[in-house]
Amino acid sequence: MCRLCIQNSLDNARIYHAKTVKTRVEGLDIYFICLPPYSPDLNPIEFGWKDLKIELSNILDFNEMIKREVKE
């Protein structure tokens, strides 16, 4: 039994199923949990990306507003 096991949830990209990747993690107590294809709603990072996109769009809008005000 390992003292620290790492579980990593992944989309089903081909790279995660490559023999090289499987060989590298073998014996390291790293376990991949592959999500079903086309299911971004199950991938927690997607919620973070959504929030980040909103925040960045707010920043970009703010920057544009400042540029307009400076020109005037």
Give the angle 59-65-69 at the CA atoms, nearest 5°: 145
Instruction: Spell out the domain ranges in the chain.
Output: 1-38, 40-72
What pLDDT, on a 0 to 100 scale, did the predictor assign at position 56? 82
* Confidence at residue 2, expressed as pLDDT on a 0 to 100 scale: 54
Helix (H, G, I), strand (E, B) or coil at 37: coil
d(Cα 14, Cα 27) in Å, to the nearest integer? 21
What digits encode the pLDDT tens for the residues 5-64?
A: 666 777 777 777 788 888 888 878 777 777 887 787 887 788 888 888 888 888 877 778
Which pLDDT does position 4 carry in this prediction? 65
pLDDT of residue 3: 63
Per-residue pLDDT, 55: 85
Assign 19 to helix, strand or coil: helix
